[in-house]
Amino acid sequence: MYNDGTRNAFSGDTGSVRPDITPGPIPAPGRPLNICKIQTDEDLREVTAHGCAQFPLEINHDYLHSFYQRYICCHWHEELEIAVVIKGQIRYRLKERIFDLAPGEGLVINSRIPHSAVASTRQEPVLLTTILHPSLLYGTPASDIYQKLVCPYLNADALSGIRLSPSRSELMKQIDALFAEKPFGFELRIKGLLCGLFADLLSPCQDLLEQSRPAGSESLTRLALLLEAIHGSYTEPLSLSALANQICLSREGCCRFFKRMTGKTISEYLQDYRISQSVPLLAGDRYSIEQIAQLVGFGNAGRFSAAFARHMGCTPRQYRQRLLQNPGAAPPACAPSDNIKNLSSVKQQDFAQNCTDIDKAARQGPGTGLL
């Protein structure tokens, strides 16, 4: 997704008052005038989808004074965030750490790190913000890239934020240009640049990463067995007991092991994988939504649609319509609120309850132990 402006249009009067924020100048002509607020849940987790399943990356041009009360409120997300200051000066707070950035400097914010940002001077900061899911770097959790590099990095508290030099910030501008112009093979070029960037950033931290590595060869073998079973049988109900038996652990031990190795529960990973497998099927009109739900293991269209909307930001039907209208490019994910704002209050409650039921099932599992 590419946004030339700020992230989420918002109108309303919520959030805490920040009297320490000095009002800035009136936005210049041509600037987005929407008041924007990052949408979060009660745990401050951002609920807006970033990018899409085929290419989980989003780039924003953020004008700080266009955000509600002219600062970026505290929030976190699963994705990595790379912010580069184009104009002005800005102060980021990551937990207890402070990063003051000037034009040309940047900051890499790790996954699940609460962060906020305020202007350091009266001049309005302008940011180039790239948000990407870590899987764009490593592919599958069983890969050496994930186990040796990405997983230790994600779990290293000391690497919650990494500064970018001006030369490395220039690389992010190259990525921005590629993402905007979308020449042939731009996805490979962007992935290559990002992998090179993180290789350079993590090279000085080898000792720290070695201490944070979660697994030995036996654990990697067990994980590979679980992933093989999930990828080979995702179209059918999966037995948690059968998965656990494959690696000689109890059901509870299997769940703890998978969470430690991948950062996700088995149900979360399985749901994400099923959704990713549904995307190519939505590109054509050979199968109905109900048929696709069955083909990828959801069992019925209601469960599939609710899970897809929560993951992708739009329903499978909306996603298919956008693909058919624009067959040359993947459609951007829409904000979750766009999917239910036109429904009646009763249907909104049903939609929310359906999502809640799926989350509850994912956490607890049905009584049969099927996933």
Q: Domain with 54 in it: what CATH number?
A: 2.60.120.10
List, in order, residues 6 or more apart from 353 with CB less than 8 Å away: none
Q: Is residue 174 part of a domain?
A: yes
Examine the domain organization and report whether 231 and 119 are in the same domain: no
pLDDT at 231: 92
Does residue 21 sit within a domain? yes
Residue 128 counted as domain residue: yes
344 residue type, one letter: S
Residue 221 and residue 202 share a domain: no
The SS3 call for residue 200 is helix
Do residue 114 and residue 163 come from a single domain?
yes
- Which of 193, 209, 225 lies at the terminal end of a domain, its last residue? 209
Instruction: Supply the pLDDT for residue 3.
Output: 52
Find out whether 161 and 95 touch, Cβ atoms under 8 Å: no
Helix runs in the chain, H state only:
135-138, 144, 151-154, 166-181, 186-202, 206-212, 217-233, 240-246, 251-262, 266-282, 289-295, 301-312, 316-325, 336-340, 345-364
pLDDT value for 221: 83
| Radius of gyration, alpha carbons of the chain | 21
Judge if 169 and 296 occupy the same domain.
no
Q: Closest by alpha carbon to 296, among 321, 313, 275, 324?
A: 275
Residues 299, 61: Cα–Cα separation, whole Å? 40
Q: What is the domain count for the chain?
A: 2
Nearest residue to 194 via CA among 134, 122, 120 = 134
Asked if residue 370 belongs to a domain, the reply is no
CA distance 149 to 152: 6
**C-alpha span between 136 and 127 (Å, rounded):** 22
Query: Do 131 and 167 have their domain in common?
Result: yes
Each residue's pLDDT tens digit, 231-289: 999 999 999 999 999 899 999 999 998 888 887 899 988 998 999 899 999 988 899 99
Q: What is the pLDDT of residue 7?
A: 52
Look at residue 133 and tell me if it is in a domain: yes
**What pLDDT is stored for residue 361 in this prediction?**
36
Instruction: Give the integer Cα–Cα distance in Å for 139 and 267.
Output: 18
**Is 224 found in the same domain as 204?**
no
Q: What is the CATH number of the domain that holds 264?
A: 1.10.10.60
* Whether residue 293 sits in one domain with residue 260: yes
Residues 14 and 49 occupy one common structural domain: yes
Same structural domain for residues 23 and 150?
A: yes
Residues 180 and 327 in one domain: no
pLDDT along the chain (371 residues), means of 10: 45 32 42 70 85 90 91 93 97 94 98 94 96 93 88 91 96 97 97 97 92 69 89 92 91 90 86 91 91 94 91 87 70 37 34 38 45 73
Domain boundary among 209, 230, 252: 209
Same domain for 169 and 24?
yes
Same domain, 149 and 223: no
97 torsion bin: left (phi>0), alpha (psi -120 to 50), beta (else): beta
Range of the domain at 314: 217-364
Q: Flag whether 342 is in a domain.
A: yes
- The DSSP 8-state label assigned to residue 30 in this structure reads T
Asked whether residue 138 is assigned to any structural domain, the reply reads yes
Question: 177, 209, 241: which is the final residue of a domain?
Answer: 209
Whether 310 is covered by a domain: the verdict is: yes
